[in-house]
Amino acid sequence: MTTTAERTTASTGSEPSGQAYRAVREQLAPVFAAIAGSAAEREAEHIIDRDAVRRLAAAGFTSLRVPAEYGGAGLSFAEQAHLIVELAAADSNLVQALRAHLINQENVLGHPDPVSRDRWLRRLGEGAVVGNAVTEINNAVGEGTTTLVQDAEGTWRLNGTKYYSTGTLYADWIIVAAVDAHGEEIAATVSVNAPGITRLDDWDGFGQQLTASGTTVFENTPVEAEEVYTGGLDDGTRVATGQASWQFLHLAALTGIAEAIVRDVSEYVRGRRRSFSHGTAELPRDDAQVLQVVGELSSAAFAARAAFDSVVSALGGVLEREAAGEDLPEEDTNALYVRVYQAQQVIAKNVLAAATHLFEVGGASALSQSKRLDRHWRNARVLANHNPLIYRSRLIGDWEVNATPPARSYRIGSVPNAQ
C-alpha cells in the first residue's frame, strides 16, 4: 500500500541520497513538520516566530552550504535546493525571510578575501542569521539616500531608512546598501544589536505576511570597518549569478507552495464527509471529478518542480564554474538568465492557477478561515509580483527573436517630477 509519506516524496522530485544530506535531513524533518503544523495558525495570528528560525538554525538549515570544518553541513547546491523547497512547502514565508541569508551564504563561499570569508563562514557555522536592508522608496531609479560615512574619529556611521527589509526581524546581522560621502555605492553588514537601529513589522501585503519585510531605520549606527564593503553589494560576490540566485529562491518558494497545495487539498478531500447529491460518488474521496481536480493540481506541482529543477541544474553548474575561478562566456550567462526567466513563467502561472483551482474540490466548507486554504493564493500572488512576469516574458521574446541579451539586473525607483 502506498503511504502518504511515499506519495509526498513522489511529488517532490528525486531526493538526494548523500550521507551528509541524509544526516541533516533527519535533523530538519521534525522542525519542518512543526513549522507546517503551525503555519496556518501563525498566519492567522500574525506571529513572527523567531523561535522557528532559531530551530532551523540549530538543526543546520542556515548553514547547509557551509563546509563541515566551519560547522556546516557542506551540502551541494542541489541538495540544499531540495531542502529549501521542503521548507517552502511547510511555510513559504520562512524561505523568503531567509532569502538574503541564503544569498549571503553563497556569496561568502565565493568571496575572494580569505579573511572576510573565514570570519563569515565561522559566523554562519555557529548559526548566525542574516537579513537585508537594501530597498528604499521615493528615491530616483538607481539612487539611494541612506549614507555610510566616516565621522571625525574615523568611525563608520550609517543613517537612513530602508523598506521591504525582508527577514531582518529574524536576523542577527543585516546587509545594508548605502552611498558614501561621494555618492558612490557602498555596503555593510551590521549587527542587529548595534545602537541606533529600529526594526518595524509594518509590511502590509496581503500575502507572505510573516516574512518580516518591514521598515528598518538607522540613526548614526556605528559599523565596524571590517564589515564595510566599498564596492557595494557586488563587492567580491558572484556577479554573474547575482539576480539569478535571488530569483531562484522565489521560484523555490512558489514550488513549495504548489506541493503544499497538493498536500492540503488531498488531506481535505480524504477527510471530507459532506457531498453533493449530483456528485459522482457518495464521498468526495471517491468522486471522479474531485479526483480529477486533485490530479490537475498534482500535475501543476510536477510542472513547477520540473521547471525548478532545470534552474537548479543550470544555476548550480554556473556556481561550480565560478567557484573554480572560470570566467563565464557571455553566451553561458545569457543562457542561464533565459532559463531562469522561462522557469519563472512556468512556475508562477501554474502555481497561481492551482491556488485558485483547488477550491473546486469542495463547497463552502473549503472557504473556512480555519483551513486558510486561501493563503496559498495570497502567498503565491505576492511572490509572483516581486519580479513582474510581463517584463521577463518580453526579455525572453526579445532573446528569441532578436538575440538581445536578457537583462541580468534592474533597479526600481520613483520618476522625479512625474505628472
* Entry pTM: 0.94
Question: Quick one: pLDDT at residue 69?
Answer: 98
Query: Which pLDDT score, from 0 to 100, does residue 6 have?
Result: 41
Query: Helical H runs in 140-182?
Result: none
Residue 262 predicted with pLDDT over 70? yes
Mean of pLDDT values over 249-265: 98
Taking each helix axis as running N to C, give the angle between helix 330-357 and helix 242-271, from 0 to 180 degrees, rounded to the nearest 10. 20
| 253: phi then psi, degrees, rounded to nearest 5 | -65, -45
Classify residue 348 as left (phi > 0), alpha (psi -120 to 50) or beta.
alpha
| Closest among 411, 416, 415, 418 to 142, alpha carbons compared | 411
Percent of the chain with pLDDT over 90: 77
414 has pLDDT over 80: no
The Cα–Cα gap between 105 and 130 comes to 9
| Alpha-carbon distances, residue 199 vs 16, 50, 78, 93, 193 (angstroms) | 38, 14, 33, 18, 11
Question: Which domains can be identified in the chain, with CATH numbers?
Answer: 4-128 (1.10.540.10), 133-234 (2.40.110.10), 239-402 (1.20.140.10)
pLDDT tens-digit map of 347-390 = 999 999 999 999 999 888 888 888 899 999 999 999 999 989 99
Query: What is the predicted pLDDT for the residue at 364?
Result: 86
Position 54 confidence tier, pLDDT thresholds 50, 70, 90: very high
Across 41-55, 228-242, 308-322, least confident range: 228-242
* Averaged pLDDT of the chain: 91
| Amino acid symbol at 376 | H
Q: What integer pLDDT is reported at residue 3 of this predicted model?
A: 37
pLDDT of residue 1: 33
- Place 240 in a pLDDT band, splitting at 50, 70 and 90: low
Q: List pLDDT tens digits, range 157-208.
A: 999 999 999 999 999 999 999 999 999 999 999 999 999 999 999 999 999 9
Q: Which of 221-225, 286-290, 405-409 has the highest mean pLDDT?
A: 221-225
Whether the CB-CB separation of 277 and 406 falls below 8 Å is answered with: no
- What pLDDT sits at residue 13? 61
User: Mean pLDDT, to the nearest integer, of 37-62?
Assistant: 97
For position 235, what pLDDT does the model report? 59
Q: Which of 290, 201, 215, 253 is nearest to 86 (CA)?
A: 253
At residue 143, the 3 state secondary structure works out as coil
> Residue 49 has which C-alpha cell?
516566530
Residue with the three cell numbers 533565459: 338
Q: For residues 313 and 245, what is the distance between their CA atoms, to the nearest angstrom?
A: 12
The tens digit of pLDDT for each residue in 71-86 reads 999 999 999 999 999 9
